Chains A and B, each alone.
Chain A
Amino acid sequence: MEAGSREEPLIVAKDIWKIYDGGYTALSGVDLEIYGGEIHVLLGENGAGKTTLLKILSGAIRPSRGSIFIRGERKIFRSPRDALKQGISMAYQGSSLVEGLTAGENISIVARAAGINGDELGKRVMKTMEDLGYQLDLRSRVSSLSPGEKQALEVSIAINAGRLAVLMDEPTALMSTASSQLLMKLLREHADNGKALVITSHKIREVAEIGDRYTILKRGTRVATVTRRSLDGGSVIDTLIKHMSPQGLETYSLDISGAIDPGEEILYVDNASIADDRGIEVLRNTSFRLRRGEILAIVSIDGRGVKEICEAIYGLRRLRSGKIYVKPGTRIRYIPSEVSRASIPEMPVAINISMRSIIGGRISLLDLEEIVSSANRIIEASRANVPSIWKPLKSLSGGNARRVIAWREAMDNPDLLIVEEPTANLDIASSQSIAMLIRSTASRGAGVLVVTSELEDPLRIGCKWLILEDGTLLDPRSSKRVGTIPGAL
C-alpha cells in the first residue's frame, strides 16, 4: 500500500492564507500536517475556515499564499483534477455531482480525472454504497436520488477515488444516523489500509469516537492539534471547549441567576417541534422553561435551527407540533442576527430606533422631539458610532447597526428577550458589551433566551447553556439529552 510512514507526514499545508475577493480573510496562516493511516478531524465554529482549508487541499480553490507539500514535494493544484491525479479526492458539503447525468456517468468523470479505470471505480462505489446501506443503480440520474443518497454517492466516490487522501466536508450532514455510523466504521477500515482521511463534522458525538487527531480552527487560524491518546479520558467536548476558549469555562462563569430571586416562569416550551423552510425538523419534541432573571443559551454548532427557534418563540414561525406558553401581555423583544430583519435599512437611524413606538401608536404626526431623544438615549447607551441620526441605518457599519438594534430591543423593557447570534458581525469589544447588555437585561428581571452557533457566547455571557444537535438538546457536560420529557428542565 502506498502511504506515508508515521514519521513523515503525507500532506503538509504550510502557512496557508485565503483572502476572498470581498476582502474577507478566511484563513490566516494555517499549518496542517496529515499522516497516512489517520483519521484527522477538523473542528471549529461556523466561519472558522474548515471548508476553505479542505477546498484548498482539494484544488477547488487556490490559496492567496502558502504551499502544499505531498511527501515533501511542493505541489500546486490548479483544479480538483490536479489534486485527483495526485491521489487526493474530496466529498463536498452538499454535493458536487452533475444532476443531469447518471450515477455511472458521474463516476466515469471522476475516474477519468483521477486516471483510474471507470468500471473498476464503479464497482467499488457500488460496494461502498452497499456498506453504507444504500442500493445504487448506476443508470439512475443523480437528480432522481434523495439528498441522503446523493451524499452517500458523493462520499463513496471520494473514498474510492482518492488513493492517498480523502477529504470530507460534513459527509454525514444529510445521512441517516445508521448510515453515519456505518460510514465511521468504513473510514476506520480505509485508514487502516494507510489512507489519510480528513473530515469535518458538526456532530460532536459522532466524531468524538472516530478521530485519531483533532485540529481546532478558530477564525482562520489553528488553535491546536491534539491526538486522541492525549485526551486521557476527558471528553472531546470538554477539550474542544477548552481549546476554543483558552480562558476556560471558569473565568466566564459569573453566576448571575443567584443574584436575584429566581422569578416567575416567563416562557414554557412544551414538547415543541420546529421545522425550517425546507420542512426539515430543527427541533424535535423538546421542552424547556425560562424564568425571569434567567439566561439560557442554546448552542447549535452548525448553525442549524438558530433562526427558526428564535422565530418560533417570537411568534413568526408556526410550530410543527407542541406548544409555547407565554403569559398574556408578556413583552417579547427579539434581536435577530441580521439587522435588516428588524429595521428598514433605507430609513434614518432615528426612525428605526423609534420604529416600535411609531408603529404601535395611533396615527399622528411624527413626534420629532421624542424621536430625537430616544435616538440619543439608545445611541449613548450602545456607544454605537452614528455620525448623524438622520442618515439611513444602512450607512452605518454592520457592527454599529447591530448595536443600535440590539440596544433598541433590550432597552424597551422586555419581559422576554430573544437574542439570535448575539456576537454575529461583532468584534471582541462589541461582543463583550453585548454580553453585558444581556446580563443587565436579565438582572432587570427579564428572561433572556440566547440562540447561537458560537460556542463561546454562553461562556462569554456566563449563563446556563445547552447544545442543539440533530434537533435535540444536550447537556454539554454529560452529553445527555435534556428536555425531551415535558418539564424535565
Chain B
Amino acid sequence: MPARSPRLVTGLLIVVLAPLLAISILSLFSGVNAVETIYWVFWGGFSPTQIPETMLRATPILITSFGLSLAYLARIWNIGSEGQILLGAIATAWIGLHLGGLGVIGVIVSTIFGGLCGALWASIPGLLRAYRGANEVFSTLMMNYLALYLASYLLQGPLRSPTSLFPETATLSRDLWVEPLIPGTRVNAFVLLSPALIAPATYILVARSTLGIKLRVIGEGAEKARYFGIDAGKAIVATMFLSGFLAGIAGSTEVLGIHHRALPSISQGYGYLAIPVAVIASLEPRLILPLSIYLGGVVNGVEVAQMNLSIPSGASYIIQGILLIASLPMAMRR
C-alpha cells in the first residue's frame, strides 16, 4: 500500500548523503582529506568489529523513531524526543534506585516508568497544540531545553550520587542491570529485542493496521478528522503521549542496559537522529531498521574518526542539525 513517492526518494537521499556531506565540509575546514574521514566513518561504523557498538546506538534511534513515525503519519511534528529520552532515563534511574532486589520485575517497572515520564513530558506540548493551538514544532523543541536544564538541576541536586565526582545518579543495584548477552560486547537484550519487535511492529501499524489509517486522517486536518468522527484534540494528545512513551523507553534502555545510572549526556542526540528516520519510516516503514542502523553507524563512525583525525568534536551535532533542517521541512510540506 505505501506508494513510492518522490518525497521518499528525496528523503532517502537526504538521510544517506547529508551526514557524509557534513563530514566532508568539516574535514575541508579542518584541513583533513574528506575521503579519509569518510573512510574512517565507515570503518568505525560498519566494520565487523564495530557492528555491536553500532547496533547499540541504533537501538534508541529505532525505538524513538517508531513512536515518531506514528506521530508524523498524523502530521504531528514532535521534535522533542531528545528531552523525552533524557527525562525517561532520569525517571528510570530514580525509580530503579528504589527497586533494588526486584530483578526482572524491577527492570520492567522502571522501564515502563521511564516511558510514562517521557509520555507525560510529551503530552504537555500535545495539550498546548490540541487546546491552545500552539505549534508543536516550537513547543517540543523548547521543551528539549527545559528538559536539559531540569535534568541538570536534578543530577547536580537532589538526585546526585553522594559518592560521585560527576553530576550523575548513584549506580543501580546489580540485579536491575540488563547484562550483555554476547560476551566481549555491550549487546544486551534490548539491543537484540528491539529490531525483532519494532521493525515488524512499525510495518504492521503504519501500513497494515486501522491505526495507520486513522493517524493519516488526523494528519489531514481537524476538519476531516471531525468529518469521520475523530476528536482531533484527543487524538493529538494520545499521539504525543505514545511517541513520548517510546522515547522515554529509549532512555530507560540506555540506563538499564548500558550506563546503569543517569547522566546528562546519556542521549547522544538519539532524539534528533530519530527524526529523519521517522520521516522516512512514515512513508516506507520497512526502512526503519536499515536507516536506524545506518545513522547509528555514522554516529559511531564519527567518534572513531575523531579519535584518529583532527575533526572537531562537535561533528555529531552538526550532522544532527543538518539532518533535522533537511528532513523536517520536507516532511511538513504538503
Contacts and interface: CB of A to CB of B under 8 A. Distances in A.
Interface stretch (B148-156, B214-222, B256-264): B214-222
Interface stretch (A232-240, A341-349, A481-489): A341-349
Contacts of A342: 227
Interface stretch (B103-111, B114-122, B205-213, B316-324): B205-213
B227 A363 contact: no
B220 A344 contact: yes
B210 A364 contact: yes
A358 B229 contact: no
A356 B210 contact: no
Interface string B31-74: 00000000000000000000000000000000000000000000
B224 A360 contact: no
B141 interface: no
A316 B227 contact: yes
Interface in A150-192: none
B208 A366 contact: yes
A360 B229 contact: yes
Contacts of A334: 227
B206 to A, nearest CB: 12
Contact of B224 (A341, A366, A392): A341
Contact of B211 (A314, A316, A360, A363): A363
Given A347-B216, A355-B217, A361 B210 contact: yes
Contacts of A392: 3
A359 B230 contact: yes
Nearest to A316: B226
A242 to B, nearest CB: 38
A348 B224 contact: no
A344 B214 contact: no
Contacts of A336: 227
Given A344-B217, A344-B220, A356 B228 contact: yes
B175 interface: no
Contact of A366 (B209, B217, B220, B223): B209
Nearest to B214: A359
B9 interface: no
A364 B228 contact: no
Contacts, number: 55
Given A344-B217, A358-B214, A315 B226 contact: yes
A336 B213 CA distance: 21
B226 A359 contact: no
Given A355-B217, A358-B214, A359-B214, A348 B209 contact: no
Nearest to A346: B3
A351 interface: yes
Contacts of A344: 216-217, 220, 224
A365 interface: yes
Interface in A317-376: 334, 336, 341-342, 344, 346-348, 351, 355-356, 358-366
Contacts of A361: 210
Interface in A213-272: none
B209 A363 contact: yes
B130 to A, nearest CB: 17
A363 B216 contact: no
Interface in B169-211: 204, 208-211
B209 A355 contact: no
Given A344-B216, A347-B216, A364-B210, A359 B227 contact: no
Contacts of B1: 348, 351, 390
A360 B210 CA distance: 9
A168 B167 CA distance: 78
A361 B229 CA distance: 11
Contacts of A351: 1, 213
A355 B210 contact: no
A365 B209 contact: yes
A208 to B, nearest CB: 38
A344 to B, nearest CB: 6
A238 B133 CA distance: 50
B71 to A, nearest CB: 15
26 contacts: A314-B227, A315-B226, A316-B226, A341-B223, A341-B227, A342-B227, A344-B216, A347-B216, A355-B228, A356-B228, A358-B210, A358-B214, A359-B217, A359-B228, A362-B210, A363-B209, A363-B210, A363-B211, A363-B214, A365-B204, A365-B208, A365-B209, A366-B209, A366-B210, A390-B1, A392-B3
